[in-house]
Amino acid sequence: MDAIVLEPSLRMTLEQDAAHEARSVNDLINEAVAHYLRERQQAKIDREIAAYEAMHAELMRDHLDEWVALHNQELVDHDRDRVALYRRIRARYGRTSVLIRQVLAEPIEEIWVRTPSTGRTTA
């Protein structure tokens, strides 16, 4: 594996921030890369959700109540058993983000959250 080389100005800024926070430069870099990768995964899942919503009528016609897996905005697998589908997807794609969702009548699942009452009323 090739060494990762930072631009001198980035390295200097990281060294200053690390010293200020009493942390190592490696800690800051690992934290930043982890954050970057989480954002990329979320962006990919957002694209998969949009594709799911666009494909919903077709998915409903062919796979109602089944679990489907979308990768790169394409249906890559489906199954009535969510766990079996999940295992196949992990074996095939590893840690790559893949949307797994059950095909229901509505493309966007409605979620209700009950919160405890404070007993107060607003005037």
Residue 83 covered by a domain: yes
Q: Which two tokens stand for residue 12?
A: 């200097």
Residue 94 covered by a domain: yes
Read off the pLDDT of each residue in 44-52 and give the average, rounded to a whole number.
96
User: Structure pTM?
Assistant: 0.76
- The 10s digit of each residue's pLDDT in 91-105 is 999 999 999 999 998
Q: How far apart are CA 105 and CA 108, in angstroms?
A: 9
Residue 120 covered by a domain: no
Residue 3 covered by a domain: no
Residue 89's SS3 state is helix
Structural domain boundaries, residue 70: 8-102
How high is the pLDDT of residue 106?
A: 83
Residue 118 covered by a domain: no
Number of domains in the chain: 1
Residue 59: which pLDDT band, with cuts at 50, 70 and 90? very high
Residue 61 covered by a domain: yes
Residue 109 covered by a domain: no
Name residues whose C-beta falls within 8 Å of residue 6's C-beta, 6 or more positions apart in sequence.
14
